[in-house]
Amino acid sequence: MSPVERPRHILSVLDYADDLPRILRRGVELKAARRRGRNPPVLREKTLALIFEKSSTRTRTSFEVGAHDLGGQSLYLSSKDLQLGRGETIADTARVLSRFVDVIAYRAFRHTDVAELARWSTVPVINALDDVEHPCQIAADLLTLHERWGGQFKGRRLAYIGDGNNVLNSLLLGAASVGLEIAAATPKEYAPRPEIVAAARGRAETFGSAVELTEDPKTAARGADAIYTDVWVSMGDEAETAKREAAFQGYQVNDELLDLAGPGAFAMHDLPAHRGQEITDAVMDGTRQAIWDQAENRLHAQKALIEWIFLPSRPARTRSRR
């Protein structure tokens, strides 16, 4: 396949980062359009396949509902039921599915497997979460912040407290790409990947923001406009549960931490939450949070991403690191 014909994959936030202003504006428009019952039929006569190696509530549901909204259909394929689970290669799976479907979302344990599927697929592949990134989640999070802050990211500060995992990696790249300052507090041994921090810092320099890393949650939270957290034990990390629960003591988003943040600050969480660990019931159930809006915005942001994938024009964009 020539480079011109290469499908527009989304393996990383970096694959859509240069078009974020347009994608976020479309997310707002698509949310309003859905409420008026006017969804654009971008996926008419098209099928979205969903290959999932791990559990999901939000990602699966928002993709299935989104495909239906856009006039297409979705096909949920658990990796356990596919021949993939019996040793058929990812490359062969990609070649076959490309003959049937128009776009594939893949939730995998390993980023290298998502990259392998994209390498062999002749239709676009969307990373629906892997061990390195969660680009769909971060599009929804930025849409939520765009709504809350009237589209103005400059001069705002986002704190992240907890594990330097897939969600933080994508958040660093996304925040830096819209000019939003981000301060992440993680235990030293759970810091985000150095190559992602370097890429985020490069983009922060271009877009006039900053990426700050610390081990102290209070340092990150001070003066923040929003405080984001995620689970201490991600899917695939279960064998380290006891070690992680010990390492993350003190990395909790609670009312005391929110009190240190700026006026009007609110908590964020991609969900599912482990209430009582990384976040308290009081914050989750209170008014100083944007958590349920983030969950709803998975639908609207992913519809904007799907529309973007099928856009005829190809504006200049950054490339995935791998």
Site string for ligand NVA, 32-71 (x = CB under 6 A): ----------------------------------------
**Which residue number, 9 or 244, has a Cβ lying nearer to ligand NVA?**
244
3-state SS, residue 52 = strand
Residues that contact ligand NVA, how many (by CB under 6 A): 9
Spatial distance between the Cα atoms of 36 and 40, rounded to a whole number of angstroms: 12
**Which residue number, 96 or 235, has a Cβ lying nearer to ligand NVA?**
235
**Which residue number, 247 or 271, has a Cβ lying nearer to ligand CP?**
271
Cβ neighbours of 318 (radius 10 Å): 18
Edge-to-edge strand ranges of the sheet holding 226-229: 211-214, 181-185, 157-161, 226-229, 266-269
Q: Is 169 in the site for ligand NVA (CB under 6 A)?
A: no
Stretch near ligand NVA under the rule CB under 6 A, chosen from 87-95, 173-181, 228-236, 242-250: 228-236
Provide the β-strand partners of residue 275: 279
Spatial distance between the Cα atoms of 103 and 260, rounded to a whole number of angstroms: 44
DSSP run (H or E) holding 47: strand 47-52
Residues at the site binding ligand CP, with contacts judged by CB under 6 A: 56-59, 129, 137, 270-272
Q: Is 294 in the site for ligand NVA (CB under 6 A)?
A: no
Spatial distance between the Cα atoms of 300 and 36, rounded to a whole number of angstroms: 14
* Local structure of residue 192 (DSSP, 8 states): P
Q: Which does 57 bind (CB under 5 to 8 A by kind): ligand CP, ligand NVA, none?
A: ligand CP
Question: Which residue has the CB atom at the shortest distance from ligand NVA?
Answer: 234
Q: Which does 166 bind (CB under 5 to 8 A by kind): ligand CP, ligand NVA, none?
A: ligand NVA
Beta carbon of residue 275, minimum distance to ligand NVA (angstroms, whole number): 15
Stretch near ligand NVA under the rule CB under 6 A, chosen from 16-24, 34-42, 230-238, 295-303: 230-238
CA dist 202 → 118, 157, 173, 230, 310 (Å):
26, 18, 10, 25, 28
| Residues near ligand NVA (CB under 6 A) | 129, 165-167, 230-231, 234-235, 270
